[in-house]
Amino acid sequence: MPIRLRLEDLGRLAGEMKARAAAERAQAEARRREAARLKAESEVFRREVADVTPLRPTGRREPETRHRSPQARQRQQDEQQALAQSLSDEIDIEQLLEADEALSFRRAGVGQDALARLRRGHWTVQAQLDLHGLRTDEAREQVVYFISQARRNGLRCVRVIHGKGLGSEGRQPVLKDKVLRWLPQQKEVIAFCQAPPSMGGSGALLVLLRQASRPQEAG
């Protein structure tokens, strides 16, 4: 007896196949970029050590050192990639931002005084990420990786440079709008505000990260 598929079944099947194909293409592109990065790093290393003369063996036994397991590093990378893919570009950012012109955000439980101190430069900027020239997907991955690494390294205040959009189509700050939506979705971020003119002004954000050593979120 022939099997008959309804039109909506065919549409759903086609959608699933399209989504699967898109996911496979994204994974293949991610693998390609990683392979290109590793190749470039290997070539740089070979050039750097081209003139190095190996030391003669001394017979001395070096103390054993503990290395971070490849599995843990891979799991960390997988988690960051999954988080990047889960960040939405469609959240209602207007409800999250403070009612001011500085595009400020503070998580529930973070006092207004912490945001004021962030604006005044109370915390030293310890690292920065420049997103100029990146496509949206690349920028999203970089933001997730940068914030995760900064938090893991115990940093408190960082700067994200998203640009003013002067070189984009329509001269609109596309990445700026995206970054404003991505940052609140990362639990490590407890507040951010527009950078002062001397640090990028409307083209950058100062980001305050959750403090690990104390239970309070800001202090």
Domain layout of the chain by residue ranges: 104-209
- At residue 178's C-alpha, the angle toward residues 168 and 73, to 5°, is 115
Q: Output the pLDDT for position 94.
A: 61
Whether residue 219 has pLDDT greater than 70: no
**Across 6-10, 39-43, 105-109, least confident range:** 6-10
Question: Do the beta carbons of residue 38 and residue 77 sit within 8 Å?
Answer: no
User: Nearest Cα to 209, choosing from 129, 100, 92?
Assistant: 129
Residues 6 or more apart whose CB falls under 8 angstroms from that of 141 comprise 80, 81, 84
Two tokens, residue 73 = 């590093």
Q: Three-state SS for 204?
A: strand
User: 108-133: per-residue pLDDT in tens?
Assistant: 889 989 999 999 999 999 999 999 98
Question: Residue 215: pLDDT band by 50, 70, 90 thresholds?
Answer: very low
Q: Output the pLDDT for position 34.
A: 82
Q: Output the pLDDT for position 216.
A: 46
Q: Output the pLDDT for position 117.
A: 94
Q: Output the pLDDT for position 153.
A: 93
Fold assignment, 104-209: Ribosomal Protein S8; Chain: A, domain 1 (3.30.1370)
User: 131-189: per-residue pLDDT in tens?
Assistant: 998 999 999 999 999 999 999 999 999 999 998 866 555 556 689 889 998 999 999 99
Q: Maximum Cα–Cα distance for the chain, whole Å?
A: 80
User: Nearest Cα to 98, choosing from 83, 111, 85, 80?
Assistant: 111
User: 35-92: per-residue pLDDT in tens?
Assistant: 887 777 777 666 666 666 556 655 555 555 455 556 555 555 555 455 555 566 566 5
